[in-house]
Amino acid sequence: MTPTIHVLTGCTAVGKTELALRWAEANGAEIVSCDSLLFYRGMDIGTAKPTAAELVRVPHHLVDIRAVTEPMDVTHYVTLARAAVADILGRGRQVLVTGGSGFYLKAFFAAVADEVTVADELRARLRARLEQAGLASLVAELQQLNPLGLGALDTQNPRRVIRALERCLASGRTLAELKAEFAALPAPFAAYEIRLCELVRDKEELEQRIARRVAGMLQAGLIEEVRGLLAAGLEKNESAAKAIGYRETIDVIRGLRPEADLPAAIEQNTRALVKKQRTWFKTQLPDHRQIGASQATVAELFV
């Protein structure tokens, strides 16, 4: 029999946590997080991380596993998630993956990273060149290495240009060759049956939940949490420092935004994220079951 991984997703604030806990309790499951911020210790309030009491109800994996100064990438995530899944199933328990971080979520359905290893020295050298010689210099070298063209690469995006160039230099292959090799890679979880369910809510209801969540975060001490994280080196981890709830609060602490504007700013940016998530789930995930979160029951999630 093919082992099964159950995946419960949905956009921010839709209500995944409580339903995931109840399904796991009813089905002898353990939860593997698929949230790009729950990895980090101390990022609790702004991420709506499950509480200590909720973490006790069901064993959780890949939560609080890194300091805020230690970035996570999808390759490392896949390694850790594969180990967690094998461990859980090996003990006769069921697996419930839950979260809404698109790139990490996609790893359960398709390959998301190639096998090119980029040395830290090369990465640092290219970033120094960007500072000293500008983006045009990097694009020119990339064009020399790819005489048949750069495909759909956004040559105005420094991050994507550097990533493309470092991979060409590290592998000795063109972007077209790397793309073809990547397309042939097997999905990391191809040996498992994946059952996917997405929780949904209508726009008005979700926006009300977002407003309540933001108010609750601020009341619980979000600003003080961010002050502590800044002291611990949060800004060394760019992706974590720029997460919604954190970047706006950092602006308040730095005097770049009035504190009175903070709730509205976080709400606005969360609504924009939800819009992107909905599009991503529709276009990047395989066909899947959708259930209205307000009426969802444990029994119907993965029928």
Domain boundaries, the chain: 4-112+187-300, 120-183
Residue 36 scores a pLDDT above 90? yes
User: What number of helices (H) and strands (E) belong to the chain?
Assistant: 13, 6
Topology, domain 120-183: Histone, subunit A (1.10.20)
How far is C-alpha 38 from the chain's CA centre? 9
Question: In this predicted model, what pLDDT tens digit does every residue of 93-150 receive, in sequence order?
Answer: 999 999 999 989 999 999 987 778 888 899 899 999 999 999 999 999 999 999 999 9
Q: Phi and psi for 7 in degrees, rounded to 5?
A: -125, 120
Report how far apart, in Å, the C-alpha atoms of 185 and of each of 57, 62, 74, 129 are. 37, 25, 15, 32
Fill in the DSSP letter of residue 259.
G
pLDDT of residue 77: 95
CATH dotted code for 4-112+187-300: 3.40.50.300
pLDDT in tens, 54-80: 999 999 999 999 999 999 988 899 999
Residue 128 and residue 50: Cα distance in Å, rounded? 40
* Tokens (6 digits) for 76: 């490392």
Structure confidence at residue 183 as a pLDDT band (50, 70, 90):
confident
Q: Residue 115's pLDDT is what?
A: 76
Distance CA 156, CA 261 (A): 32
SS3 213: helix
The whole model's pTM is what?
0.87
Q: How far apart are CA 37 and CA 15, in angstroms?
A: 17
All residues at 6 or more sequence positions from 283 whose CB lies less than 8 Å from its CB, including other chains: none
Q: Are 199 and 14 in contact, with CB atoms under 8 Å apart?
A: yes
* CA 202 vs CA 47, 56, 208: distances in Å: 22, 31, 10
Q: What pLDDT score was predicted for residue 223? A: 98
Residue 92 burial class via C-beta count within 10 angstroms: exposed 0-12, middle 13-18, buried 19 and up: exposed
- The torsion angles phi and psi of 146, rounded to 5 degrees, stand at -130, 70
Backbone angles phi, psi at 165, to 5 degrees: -65, -45
CA distance 253 to 249: 6
What percent of the chain is modeled with pLDDT above 90? 87
Phi, psi at residue 207, to the nearest 5°? -65, -35
DSSP summary character for residue 51: P
